[in-house]
Amino acid sequence: MPFDTILQRKIMGHFATGVTVVTTRVGDDLYGMTANAVTSLSLAPPLVLVCVERHAAMLEHLRTSKCYAMNILTEAQQDISTRFARKGPKEFSDLDWFPGETGSPILRASLAYVDCRVVDIASGGDHDVFIGEIFAGGCLNPSELPLLYYSGAYRTISSIK
Ligand SMILES: Cc1cc2nc3c(=O)[nH]c(=O)nc-3n(C[C@H](O)[C@H](O)[C@H](O)COP(=O)(O)O)c2cc1C
């Protein structure tokens, strides 16, 4: 029997993470998705990864664009996380962003970002793993604090006791 899904969620919910918005560009169209299944994978070569659910529209956009930016959110960007976690087209027109080297939108209010080209796509059950090689990046607002996700809810560093 497969392991219980609800219990897996509960257990892994105890793994506290930051929150990112992964963005990309296909032609003139911009896309983004809130993601916390991300990690820094390798330093030489410089690789990161993001796991994308098979039914997410973002999956096809990433397959087409072959690039993405990973925007690490500050605790002041919880509304941005909520916006990019909704299914369907995402609005960028009211956001302060600039195009990264790959053309993917970088959210200027983010803590930090990396801009990547997809070098591999691995299959992982109901997700695909997009491995990206970092071509650019920076710490945009290093004095801000990160937005956290823990046990199914947003947290801030100061709220954790
Ligand atoms: C905190 C948080 C983290 C999330 N992390 C991921 C993730 O790592 N991978 C993923 O596929 N979806 C993740 N999601 C869900 C997507 O953001 C959501 O399915 C999104 O609406 C997909 O939009 P799309 O289908 O229009 O691309 C997360 C949602 C939240 C609130």
Beta-carbon-side half-sphere exposure of residue 143 (alpha carbons within 13 Å): 0
Residue 159 per-residue DSSP state: G
Task: Evaluate if residue 147 carries a pLDDT over 70.
Answer: yes
Q: What's the gap in Å between 42 CA and the centre of ligand 1?
A: 23
pLDDT, tens digit (0-9, with 9 covering 90-100), for 96-107: 999 999 999 999
- The atom number, within ligand 1, closest to the CA of 127 reads 11
The percent helix, strand, coil of the chain (3-state, each to 5) is 20, 45, 35
CATH number of 19-139: 2.30.110.10
Tokens found for residue 28: 């003139």
Report residue 92: phi and psi, to 5°.
-115, -10
Where do the structural domains in the chain lie, given as residue ranges? 19-139
Give this prediction's pTM: 0.97
Task: Determine the Cα–Cα distance for residues 64 and 80; give it in Å rounded to an integer.
Answer: 24
- pLDDT value at position 158? 82
- pLDDT value at position 116? 98
